[in-house]
Amino acid sequence: MRLLPREEEFFDLFTEVANRNKEAAEYLRKLFEAPADRRTPHIEALKRLEHEADQVTHEVVNRLDRTFITPLDREDIHQLASDLDDVMDAMDGTARRAQIFRLGAAPQGVLRILEVLQRMMGVLLEAVSRLKKGDDVMKYCVEAKQLEEEGDSIYHEALGQLFEKERDAIELIKWKEIYDNLEGTLDQAEDVANVVESITIKHA
Q: How do residues 140-180 score in pLDDT, each as one tens digit?
A: 999 999 999 999 999 999 999 999 999 999 999 999 999 99
How many residues comprise the chain?
Answer: 204
pLDDT digits (tens, 9 = 90+) for 99-115: 999 999 999 999 999 99
CB 113 within 8 Å of CB 182? yes
Is the pLDDT at 22 greater than 90? The verdict is yes
pLDDT for the residue numbered 68: 86
Supply the pLDDT for residue 103. 96
d(CA 103, CA 123): 29
Does the domain at 10-202 match CATH 3.40.1160.10? Answer given as: no
Let me know: does 145 contact 124? Beta carbons within 8 Å: no
> How many percent of the chain have pLDDT more than 90?
91
Residue-by-residue DSSP string for 119-182: HHHHHHHHHHHTTTTTSSHHHHHHHHHHHHHHHHHHHHHHHHHHHHH---HHHHHHHHHHHHHH
pLDDT single digits (tens) 29-48: 999 999 999 999 999 999 99
**Binning pLDDT at 50, 70 and 90, where does residue 7 land?**
confident
Share of the chain above pLDDT 70, in %: 98
> What residue segments make up the domains of the chain, in order of their start?
10-202
* Predicted structure pTM score: 0.94
